[in-house]
Structure 1
């Protein structure tokens, strides 16, 4: 899962999940079985001893019905075999295809990271049949997630290599990246593909993928504690605004933070830039705006790697489209300023002596946003004057400064959306220590709710 789905959540309130329950994963297996047979390798029993499926039974749509609403004696993944799973050789080929079809990865491989460096880490998959199973299901039933996982794995490996970590550690970081989202296979597809704005409960369900991935990996022979820790931490942030435990930098592992920044930049690229035909180079201004959230060294390495590729910035808009673009940016700036003012007033009006750690985390995000964007070029007078001039008379193209400002603008919209959602989840959790403060926040959120999702430049989460 990408960084565009971050928000505040209490780990104690994460939905309870057990590897013994039958859910979305069983449905994915049944769909896969139509083209790639999935067979029970043992009798599948309910926890109370009831025989549900006999050994050698085919898992199809009909047989899966017998497992519904049952708690199994053993995890379903341990009791089945897929006829053809993704092998180490298949994984290597999929990574090579990803590199050759992606201008940035191809440039990077040519300059610094030879394709041969992938062979040893892919070979590790041969000793992990359950991971092979999960990747096979993901590739068949959630192909977009699988492709993103390959990209996160490449980024994680390259960052680890740039940091000159030992080969063993780099390999473990690669495996953590490869498995960090296996929990998504167990989430409700209706929520994952919901066309409407997700509710606080929906976000809590989505965020539970971290806990599910952790539980799954912890029980797989050959998966080290370091890999499990990295997966658990891939949505944690150095400034304490991540989940599920809101850890800070001193509490986080290096592998976890390498995976975190790799997952984040892939999310930024796929959720915002790819559909617009934009390039990896444009991730840099966004990453610069978020240095407090990620390990500084990894941010520097990512920036260096992207610049090393020497890919040029595309021209976002030109000719007759420039005035409209500039006017839209001016209106968006005003919208964002008003939105942030409402959020800041709401969250700071309750004071700082309440002793509520979760509320303090929300207030820290406000301070982070204020500090980050105060020093940015977004609200500088010369930028406003430049935009007003562009809006009033046709120009051939926009400048690099304006192009970067548009990225910063999108980033601020993301942060305000995220903070608004964090605030909503805090209010709905019922865990506020002071009912009066919670009510004040609720009143404030009512005013803010009109801003959420109304921004034309706001990236889709």
Structure 2
């Protein structure tokens, strides 16, 4: 999952997931078994030696419910087999269906990236039965996540090819993308499906999917160390604002940075534009405002790829809706400025000699946001004049620069909301080293919390 992320998991994840417990994934298997029988291939034993399910038994919800309190001798996924799993041909067909149903991917395939390049990339699946199992369960039980995974995989492969990486390296990036969100199969669906805003505790639970994916992939034969590293880094950011390790660019692998960009692009598009029937072209200004967080070369490549597709940018609004649209943008700009000022004052008033790495990271984010504000088109006088002119007229269409400004405004809202939640997580984590600093941050956050409540949006991840 991608882009709209929070930082700072307050523990290392090692005690947050127990693969020997019958948890969320077991429930998914039990539901799937009703239409695609899940067969026990090896006796399922409890850690205390008790036989729970003998070989050749069909796994069902009753069995899961009966033994839910038991600790297993080995992970459940290693003791079962699905009657039908996604094959190499199935995966290839699913990718082809994604390309043919997506105008942008179809254009890329016609102009630069032939469909034939997918066949060798997909061939590896036949040697990874556990990955087949996880993908099959994901496709059946978390179909939206599977759809996104396919898109991330195409983006990652295309970016790697544009970088002219060797075919083997491009394949590793592709498989890192295919497997990067396997850990989501073990996260409480009640948290993932929340319609209201996530709490700090909810965010920490969602973030665990990275560590879970890493731990699962480490134990699968045929999965390389660079692939596992890339998966563990797909929510890291070059400016140190990612998770789980808050790495900076010099600490990140190339594969991990490619995957992070691909995952973010898909998150931005699916969460902000797809439901409105808008185009991939509209991702560009959002990506441009986040260059500090990603590998610059990847950003340039993505922009080039999107523009190469030659898909037009539709008008955001036209006709009688123009004045109201322009007035909304003006009012939103004022609110963004106030929000930014409160965050800046809250984080800078505590000084910089506290020696707290996590607090320093938060302060670095506010500097990044300040740079984005200064360099963005949102507060340039000519844009304001253009908006004020449009606000009093009818029959106009929105120019490209104003359309991009509208997208940039949405992205700035995201940045401020993200930083506000990161601050909230830091305050609630008990990681602050100085009680006086914590008290000042809590006081400043009281005013900022109102903005979060007004603008609670789902994560792009």
Deviations 1:370-410 (A, max 9, x none): 01121111011111121122122213211111100001000
Task: Indicate conservation of the 8 Å contact 1:417/1:453, yes or no.
Answer: no
Task: Indicate conservation of the 8 Å contact 1:233/1:260, yes or no.
Answer: yes
Q: How does 1:112-127 map to 2 (within 5 A)?
A: 112-127=112-127
> Residue in 1 aligned with 2:173?
173
> Residue in 2 aligned with 1:136?
136
> Residue in 1 aligned with 2:246?
246
Q: How does 1:312-327 map to 2 (within 5 A)?
A: 312-327=312-327
Give the deviation of 1:49 after TM superposition.
1.4
Task: Indicate conservation of the 8 Å contact 2:37/2:82, yes or no.
Answer: yes
Partners of 1:329 and 1:206 lie apart in 2 by 33
Q: Judge which range, 384-393 or 218-227, deviates more.
A: 384-393
> Residue in 2 aligned with 1:29?
29
Partners of 1:15 and 1:210 lie apart in 2 by 14
Structure 1 unpaired stretches of 5+: none
State whether structure 2 residue 426 is matched by structure 1 residue 426.
Answer: yes
> Residue in 1 aligned with 2:107?
107
Task: Indicate conservation of the 8 Å contact 1:14/1:204, yes or no.
Answer: no
> Residue in 2 aligned with 1:209?
209
Matched positions, count: 459
Q: How does 1:395-410 map to 2 (within 5 A)?
A: 395-410=395-410
Q: Secondary structure at the match of 1:449?
A: helix
> Residue in 1 aligned with 2:330?
330
> Residue in 2 aligned with 1:293?
293
Deviations 1:270-304 (A, max 9, x none): 00011111111111111110111000111111111
Partners of 1:109 and 1:348 lie apart in 2 by 48
Q: Secondary structure at the match of 2:48?
A: coil
Partners of 1:233 and 1:31 lie apart in 2 by 31
Give the deviation of 1:15 after TM superposition.
5.5
- The normalised TM-score by structure 1 is 0.98
Q: Secondary structure at the match of 2:428?
A: helix
Deviations 1:89-128 (A, max 9, x none): 0000000000000000000000000000000010010100
Task: Indicate conservation of the 8 Å contact 1:410/1:459, yes or no.
Answer: no
Task: Indicate conservation of the 8 Å contact 2:197/2:457, yes or no.
Answer: no
Q: How does 1:359-370 map to 2 (within 5 A)?
A: 359-370=359-370
Give the deviation of 1:14 after TM superposition.
7.0
- The normalised TM-score by structure 2 is 0.98
> Residue in 2 aligned with 1:188?
188
RMSD, aligned CA: 1.1
Partners of 1:236 and 1:188 lie apart in 2 by 22
Q: Judge which range, 354-363 or 310-319, deviates more.
A: 310-319
> Residue in 2 aligned with 1:460?
458
> Residue in 1 aligned with 2:71?
71
Q: Secondary structure at the match of 1:52?
A: strand
Q: Secondary structure at the match of 2:292?
A: helix
> Residue in 1 aligned with 2:412?
412
Distance 1:206 1:102, change over 3 A: same
> Residue in 2 aligned with 1:273?
273
Task: Indicate conservation of the 8 Å contact 1:239/1:248, yes or no.
Answer: yes
Give the deviation of 1:435 after TM superposition.
0.9
Give the deviation of 1:11 after TM superposition.
4.3
Give the deviation of 1:13 after TM superposition.
6.2
> Residue in 1 aligned with 2:343?
343
Q: Which runs of 4+ in 1 moved over 4 A?
A: none
Give the deviation of 1:203 after TM superposition.
0.2
Partners of 2:12 and 2:110 lie apart in 1 by 47
Partners of 2:82 and 2:13 lie apart in 1 by 34
Give the deviation of 1:2 after TM superposition.
1.5
Q: Secondary structure at the match of 2:42?
A: coil
Give the deviation of 1:359 after TM superposition.
0.1
Give the deviation of 1:320 after TM superposition.
1.3
Distance 1:13 1:443, change over 3 A: farther
Structure 2 unpaired stretches of 5+: none
Partners of 1:376 and 1:354 lie apart in 2 by 31
Give the deviation of 1:213 after TM superposition.
0.3
Partners of 2:120 and 2:223 lie apart in 1 by 16
Task: Indicate conservation of the 8 Å contact 1:9/1:426, yes or no.
Answer: no
Distance 1:367 1:134, change over 3 A: same
